[in-house]
Structure formats: C-alpha cells, structure tokens
C-alpha cells in the first residue's frame, strides 16, 4: 500500500539515481515516438515518470536535513548535479513542449478541467524554463540551475554548521534563575564537580535564554552569535542574486521578482509592494504603542535604552504582567504525546479523518508514523519528527513524498508526507513539554500536510500541493493555526502529564486574551522581511554593502526598534536563499488574508468546531489540491472574495 522509508543502500544512491534517470530518458524518448499522441498515452505516463523520480530523490534530500552527516552531505552533493542536469534537460526539451501544445490544441474540448490545468501549468513552466531558446542559452541556463542548487545547499549547510559550533556556558545560577525548570534541566550538566548550564543556537535552547535569561550581557552574547551566524553566506548571497538575475534576463524578464510572479496569484510587482505597504500603514500606529509599552516596562529595571536582545525578555515579562500568562505554567499541560493524540481527536471531530499509528521504518527512533483513514478507508500516511537534534536543520516544515493520483492502469496511488519540527527534546528522565507557540507550529505544519494528503485529484502534477500557486500555499496551514487558540480544541489535549488535570477555562482564557499581544509588532516584522525579499529581487544588488543598505533603509521606514549594526539577518534568511520563497516571502501575509477570512466563517457560524463547515472546506479547498486556482476555490467555499479587514480584525489591529 505504501512504499517504506528505506535507505539501506543509501551510499549507492548516485548509481541508483543514474540508472533511474537513464531509464526515464528512454521512456520519454519512447513516448515522443508515439505518432498519435493523446492525454492518456502521453501526458499520463509522462507525469508518472516525474513522480517516480520525485519518490526516489525526496528521501535522499530529506535525510540530509533531518540526519545530517558527512555521508548525507556527500550523497546529496553527488546526486544534486545529476537531478539538476536531468530537470534542466527535460524542462528545455522542445519535443516534449511541442507535444504538450499539440495535445492541448487538438484535444482541448474533450479534456476535463483537471487535465486542462495540468497542460496549462506544464506549458507555462516549459516557457519559464527556456525551452524556446537557442542551444547556447539553454546550456547556460543548465549551468546556472546547477550552480544555484549547489549554492542553496551550501547556504543551508553553513547555517547548520554555525548553529552547531556555538556554546554559551554559564556557571552562575543568578544568570539562569528565571529560566523555566524544563529548559534548565536540558541545559544543565556537571563538570569538575560543579553544576553548569549550556545554551546553544538550536531554537529551543536559544529561545530559552533570549526570553528568560536574567543576565543582559549574556542575552546580547547569544543574540549576537545568532544574528551573525554564517558570515560566509554573505558572499553566497552575492553570487545567488547575480546568477538569478542572469537567469531571468535570459528568459526575457526584467528582474527575478517579475519572473517569480509568473506562477503566483498576485498580478504585478506594484500589487505586492502596495499590499505590504498597506499592512504596514494600518499596523504602524499600534506597533509604536506596543513598543512604548515595552520601553516603559523595561524602565522599572533601569533599562532606558532597550535593545533588540531585550525585546523577548521584557515582552515575556510584560505579557505575564498583563495577562498573568506564564509559559512555564502551561508546559506540563502540553506534553508532546498528549498534544499529538488530542490533535488527532480534533482532526477527527472536524474533518472526519482518523490517525492510526503504523509500524514502519523511519530515520530516527523518535519519529512516529501514522496512517490516515476516512470512513474506514486508508487514504494517506504521515511521518512526524518533532524533536530538536544537533544533526537536524532548524525550523519547521512539511515535505511531500508521494502524491495521490490514479495511474495509467487505473490503480489508486496513496500520498505520503513528512512533518518536521524542532521542539524541546525528551530524554530518559524528561518528557517533551511544549510551549503553546510549539502547538501553533504543529497545527501550521499539519495544515500543509493535510492539503497534500487529503487530495483526491487523479493527476499527480496538480494533486495535493503540486501546482498550488506559491503565494497561497500557506492558506491551509495558517487557517489551521487559528484552531490552536480555541477553548474546545485546547481541552482535547491540554492535560497535565502527571495528574491528567485538564487546563482550566481561566488559564485558556489567558492564552486567548494574549493571542494578539504585540500583533502589530509581529506584522511589521513580517512586512520588513517580505519587503526586503521582494525589493532585493526587483533589481540586481551586487555586493553585501548594497544589500545591507537596502535592509537598513527598509528597517528605517518600518522597524519600530532598530537592530544593532552587527545584525546580519540576511545571512540566515534560508527561506529565500535555501528554500523556495525568493521574491515570495510576502506569501505568508498574502495567504493569511484568505486564512483569516475563512476562519471568520467559523466564528460567524457561532461554532468553531463546525463539522459541516469544516467538511465543506475539506472537500473544496483541500481535496482539490492544485487542480483549480485558489481564488476560485475560496470563492466556491465562501461565496465571496476575501477581505484584508478579516486579518486585521482577527489580529486585533482594527475593531
């Protein structure tokens, strides 16, 4: 039913990949020899060839992120040029492009809407890959694609190496006295008969000190280490931008931002910038009030010149003072296994899907595998890897492995996906206790996963998240986040891991009341990142100084507190330099308009756990995957266009 995660022959992946790619080339040549090409005899098997390659390569690239070692790096680097060359070669193949065009022209009236969407997307992507260009330009694009893939991987590896190379050792308990006990236990170690505390740049550890560390000098020390990681990435960024600019100029675009929008919902560069500026304008006044509130609070400690490394510390104290909200109080109620099981109960309640643990191979003994069923029928599998490790890249993400589709023989192929997070690790002596923000992250990544796994689209290239415009792919993930603040939902899993006591209404009310704490500051920060990303790709910035000047200018206009000069945020901005978000980071806010508006429908219905509405959302938005444009699906679900005011209301920025 499902392919097992099996990397027993991992070190020979390059040889196996070469064999697979050569076989795929031969199969495509055979397809091209068909005289009377049709959707069924050409497009269908062509998609399946692409799926088979994705199924083979995904675990190889995935393992380098979650179990990083010299071996995984070498195998990744060996396989990267092979897959890059192959993808460039296929995407520039005039014969495939012409065949797809001919099928579209001759068979358009007999094709269904999903088949039309597959052809539209493929023909567009062939044009964007330069299949219409002469051989010299194609050859140069091939070189560019390979080098950009190498640079992206190097950027990530540098960041991981820098994260793992830093330790801050503290011997004085006074400097750690405010840190929650569960974090302190993970930091504590014995050396030379003394108790000491080690903090690293891995996210759970870094957050613990920057949020609760008493010693201001130590807070700056770890903040500076975090914001100056991987300085060598500065030169990589220069090269990445230069090569991307050359690439899109060859393809006939003015800049990379314009090229990026060719596959997105947003219609123009001006529309993206004005959207972000509108959000900033509407949130600026409240953000200034929020920062003044922190400054006034910090003055009680004699801090009259609050800095970036003070913000988390004093924000946490202010939140506790305003809402009586102590993160540490909640963590015993948010034990990882309890959260996961309760989360599954919630998903059954609203979406009628059931999670059953499966006995399957994984890459680490902390990884859990679940089969998903709907009306007693198994429909998907998910791998869940939640805990931080030193050999695991930071952050949280969903990675799709198999897609749902009906193959050329009429057989149903079931989807699989991975969810990866970096939550506090469990040990032999300690369980993994989550922050509420971790719970929100889990909901977010599951939103992505369900978008992929619940698809029932018969064509793999538009099934699940495949074919979904990048600036709306965050819609289902952000939508699910909102449920993590609902009282009924929280009561399904917020139970004390020792006593079983359910989190009280009063305690949950405090979480809900604090939800929009500093929401305007958060929004302006996201606007800052998004504008930097988008404007960085609107013209060619050739050196680190120019890039820094652009970022400084945006901060001058939109940041309510300026970070120190040494802050080199861009060198760790893996979303755009090692992920798929280049000239697309604005997508988080763009999609949030859809997600907030969709969630408001549940609020307006008077019942957040509204199964009828949730199943409608599942059937329209999730099950259709990338087979229709998201604006069409949203209108079909809501019977109206989305409004930005729903986002501003739900964030408490406007009433």
Structural domain tally of the chain?
3
Q: What are phi and psi of 442, to 5 degrees?
A: -60, -45
Residues spanned by the domain of 72:
10-131
Q: Please tell me whether residues 187 and 90 are part of one structural domain.
A: no
pLDDT single digits (tens) 17-31: 999 999 999 999 999
Residue 43 lies in a domain: yes
CA R_g for the chain: 25
pLDDT of amino acid 182: 86
Q: Please tell me whether residues 491 and 631 are part of one structural domain.
A: yes
Q: Please tell me whether residues 345 and 488 are part of one structural domain.
A: yes
Q: In what order do the strands lie in the sheet with 368-374?
A: 354-357, 368-374, 377-387, 416-423, 397-400
Q: Own/partner pairs for 609-613, CB < 8 Å, 24+ apart?
A: 609/346, 609/349, 609/350, 609/486, 609/488, 609/489, 610/350, 611/349, 611/350, 611/352
Considering Cα of 573, then 578, then 584, then 585, what sign does the dihedral take? negative
As a whole-number percent, the residues of the chain with pLDDT over 70 amount to: 100
Total Cβ atoms within 10 A of residue 534: 24
Catalytic site positions: 445
pLDDT single digits (tens) 199-213: 999 999 999 999 999
pLDDT single digits (tens) 305-352: 999 999 999 999 999 999 988 888 999 999 999 999 999 999 999 999
Q: Which of 177, 207, 228 is the last residue of a domain?
A: 228
pLDDT single digits (tens) 39-98: 999 999 999 999 999 999 999 999 999 999 999 999 999 999 999 999 999 999 999 999
Q: Which of 190, 208, 228 is the last residue of a domain?
A: 228
Q: What is the mean pLDDT of residues 613-632?
A: 97
> Crossing angle, helix 519-536 and helix 544-558, to 10 degrees?
150
pLDDT of amino acid 389: 94
Residue 241 lies in a domain: no
Q: Please tell me whether residues 97 and 199 are part of one structural domain.
A: no
Q: Of 8, 1, 131, 129, which Cα lies nearest the Cα of 63?
A: 8
pLDDT of amino acid 654: 82
Residue 653, token pair as written in the block: 């920025």
| Contacts (Cβ under 8 Å, ≥6 apart) of 602 | 608, 610, 613, 614
Write the secondary structure of 388-425 as one string of H (helix), E (strand) and C (coil): CCCCCCCCCEEEECCCCEECCCCCEECCEEEEEEEECC
Q: First-to-last CA distance in the chain? A: 50
Residue 279 lies in a domain: no
Residue 629 lies in a domain: yes
**Greater model confidence, 438 or 646:** 438
Q: Please tell me whether residues 61 and 180 are part of one structural domain.
A: no
Q: Please tell me whether residues 104 and 172 are part of one structural domain.
A: no
Q: Please tell me whether residues 63 and 174 are part of one structural domain.
A: no
Q: What is the mean pLDDT of residues 479-496?
A: 96
Q: Please tell me whether residues 592 and 639 are part of one structural domain.
A: yes
Tell me the pairing of strands 377-387 and 416-423: parallel
Q: Please tell me whether residues 508 and 605 are part of one structural domain.
A: yes
In this prediction, residue 159 has a pLDDT band, given cuts at 50, 70 and 90, of very high
Q: Please tell me whether residues 183 and 109 are part of one structural domain.
A: no
| CATH number of 110's domain | 1.20.1050
Instruction: Identify the helix (H) or strand (E) that includes residue 327.
Output: helix 327-330
Q: Which of 131, 157, 175 is the last residue of a domain?
A: 131
Residue 570 lies in a domain: no
pLDDT of amino acid 88: 94
Q: Please tell me whether residues 100 and 38 are part of one structural domain.
A: yes
pLDDT of amino acid 326: 83
Please report how many Cα atoms fall inside a 13 Å half-sphere around the Cα of residue 460, on the Cβ side: 27
Tell me if 316 sits within 8 A of 514, measured CB to CB.
no
pLDDT of amino acid 327: 80
Q: Please tell me whether residues 352 and 404 are part of one structural domain.
A: yes
In this prediction, residue 644 has a pLDDT band, given cuts at 50, 70 and 90, of confident
- pTM summary value: 0.92
Whether residue 655 is predicted with pLDDT greater than 90 in this model: the reply is no
Residue 210, token pair as written in the block: 């920057």
Q: What is the mean pLDDT of residues 121-139?
A: 95
Rounded Cα distance between 492 and 177, Å, is 33
């Amino acid at each position: 039913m499902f392919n097992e995660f099996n990397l027993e022959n991992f070190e020979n992946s390059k040889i196996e990949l070469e064999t697979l790619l050569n076989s795929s080339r031969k199969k495509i040549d055979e397809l091209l020899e068909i005289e009377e090409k049709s959707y069924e005899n050409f497009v269908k098997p062509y998609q399946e060839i692409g799926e088979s390659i994705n199924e083979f390569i995904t675990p190889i690239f995935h393992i380098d992120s979650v179990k990083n070692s010299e071996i995984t790096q070498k195998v990744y680097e060996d396989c990267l040029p092979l897959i890059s060359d192959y993808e460039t070669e296929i995407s520039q193949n005039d014969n495939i492009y012409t065949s797809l065009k001919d099928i579209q022209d001759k068979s358009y009236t007999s094709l269904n809407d999903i088949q039309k969407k597959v052809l539209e997307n493929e023909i567009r992507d062939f044009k964007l890959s330069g299949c219409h260009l002469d051989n010299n330009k194609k050859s140069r694009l091939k070189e560019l694609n390979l080098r950009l893939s190498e640079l992206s991987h190097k950027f990530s590896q540098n960041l991981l190496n820098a994260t793992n190379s830093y330790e801050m050792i503290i011997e004085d308990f006074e400097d750690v006295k405010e840190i929650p006990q569960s974090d302190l236990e993970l930091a504590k170690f014995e050396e030379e008969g003394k108790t000491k505390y080690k903090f690293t740049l891995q996210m759970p550890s870094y957050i613990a000190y920057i949020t609760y560390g008493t010693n201001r000098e130590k807070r700056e020390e770890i903040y500076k280490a975090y914001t100056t990681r991987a300085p060598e990435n500065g030169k990589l960024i220069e090269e990445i931008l230069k090569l991307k600019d050359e690439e899109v100029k060859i393809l006939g675009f003015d800049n990379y931002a314009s090229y990026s929008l060719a596959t997105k919902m947003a219609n123009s560069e001006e529309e993206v910038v004005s959207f972000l500026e509108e959000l900033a304008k509407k949130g600026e006044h409240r953000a200034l009030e929020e920062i003044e509130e922190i400054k006034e609070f910090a003055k009680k400690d004699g801090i009259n010149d609050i800095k970036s490394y003070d913000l988390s510390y004093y924000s946490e104290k202010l939140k506790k003072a305003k809402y009586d909200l102590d993160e540490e109080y909640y963590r015993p109620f948010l034990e990882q296994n309890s959260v996961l099981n309760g989360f599954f109960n919630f998903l059954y309640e609203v979406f009628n899907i059931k999670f059953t643990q499966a006995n399957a191979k994984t890459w680490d003994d902390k990884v859990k595998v679940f089969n998903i069923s709907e009306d007693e029928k198994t429909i998907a599998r998910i791998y869940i890897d939640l805990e931080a490790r030193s050999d695991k890249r930071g952050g949280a993400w969903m990675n799709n492995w198999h897609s749902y589709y009906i193959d050329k023989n009429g057989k149903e192929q079931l989807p699989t996906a991975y969810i990866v997070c970096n939550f506090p690790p469990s040990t032999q002596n300690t369980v993994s206790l989550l922050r509420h923000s971790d719970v929100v992250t889990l909901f977010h990544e599951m939103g992505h996963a369900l978008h992929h796994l619940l698809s029932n689209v018969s064509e793999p290239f538009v099934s699940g998240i495949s074919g979904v415009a990048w600036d709306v792919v965050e819609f289902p993930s952000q939508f699910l986040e909102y449920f993590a603040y609902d009282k009924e939902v929280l009561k399904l899993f917020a139970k004390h891991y020792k006593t079983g006591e359910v989190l009280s209404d009063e305690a949950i009310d405090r979480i809900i009341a604090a939800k929009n704490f500093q929401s305007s500051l958060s929004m302006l920060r996201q606007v800052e990142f998004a504008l930097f990303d988008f404007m960085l790709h609107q013209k060619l910035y050739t050196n680190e100084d120019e890039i820094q000047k652009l970022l400084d200018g945006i901060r001058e206009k939109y940041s309510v507190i300026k970070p120190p000069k040494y802050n080199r945020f861009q060198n760790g901005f893996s979303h755009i330099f090692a992920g798929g978000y280049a000239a697309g980071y604005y997508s988080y806010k763009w999609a949030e308009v859809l997600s907030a508006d969709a969630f408001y429908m549940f609020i307006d219905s008077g019942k957040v756990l509204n199964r009828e509405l949730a199943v409608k959302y599942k059937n329209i938005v999730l099950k259709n995957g990338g087979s229709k444009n998201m604006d069409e699906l949203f209108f079909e679900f809501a019977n109206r266009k989305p409004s930005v005011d729903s986002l501003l209301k739900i964030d408490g920025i406007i009433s």
